[in-house]
Structure 1
């Protein structure tokens, strides 16, 4: 039995249930088995979703078409590759495919039809290779050797309860990570009493304050701030319980507080 055609291999990949005789051949033919494996890999890559790629210039596609035309002209003149002596009918992927019943005596019409089929198939193959190849190249590009951004701690303070017997419950750190200034808050426990816990920076004058976000549990949490806040004296870190009353002001029910030494 001769090697299966491109269409038969595609049907096998798509598992249409057709061409069972071709399947038996592929199981015994290493060349066709390898071709089927490549087709399956291409299908898997395509189904995974292609990335958004830049549109190639018109000259790129024109160059591809010119190369295809030259290859088709050579293929129409001869169905045999002089380099290896193997006919195109025996290749799993070929530029020119003879349809059943057509032969060398079919005249110029047959040659034109073969050229059209070859051009279409080769164009699709090249286009698919460009898309999949570009996608793989985009995702497997070598990572940069830039060192990871490290955080520098500028100041830290213990967060303690208010009152006559203050109890430490956590810690706040002022840090710089790259170009970002952050306040990191970590709590040993967070007695929220079922309320929302809001984080604040209070000015040293004790009159002005600004919310920097909400706590979600006791684990370390970072809040990006404008460094000018610290320069203007917003250095007191405060956590408060806030009811869901729609009032954006501080409730006055502070859990802990600490002053950054800057």
Structure 2
């Protein structure tokens, strides 16, 4: 079996469309989906305000320069004035509008490179919101609170003009101090799970993986995830509903 390449997995983690054959493979391959989920967690994490807080630049430890010298054979030390001084950062108000980058392809290449190579995304990163074209509603579901949780909302599947599908999520839930919400599609046995991405209280849109069968994964689930880097479901679900696919 020919699995998706690292570049394709990175693009899938960014919720970019893949060629039909690769999208079909991803939809049926648990190994590739797990890789995408792991990469997607890193991409989505930068959209969490707590992780995107701006901070001053930090000088690299001395071991970095020693390692460079060992590999390149060039002995050099950075100038003292080469380390940027901390700058003042004006924090944007929480309700400020987040605009998309001018070049969508440039964003894809930059973030895909960071994901594939394991680069660390610097402080001050912002969430990128793509403009969604008008589409045709396919199905919708009310998200009912589970146990004694206060979370609730609504999820609507929309098919866009190009045939891709998105889920518009309206989440009514309290803000979290030490974690974040994530939306999933789950099968009726609550065994197979497909992560769709990080969501916040309010209305937002997430993309559905191409070729995903909603009849196989009809449960829309909202979970609370800790900031531990684990891409699997935490087991703490706060709201859920079943799509009428």
Question: Shorter chain as normaliser: what TM range?
Answer: 0.3 to 0.5
Q: Name the structure, 1 or 2, with higher relative contact order (CA <8 Å, separation 6+).
A: 2
Whose radius of gyration is greater, 1 or 2?
1
Greater per-residue helix proportion:
1
Q: Please, what TM-score do these two structures have when normalized by structure 2?
A: 0.42
Q: Please, what TM-score do these two structures have when normalized by structure 1?
A: 0.39
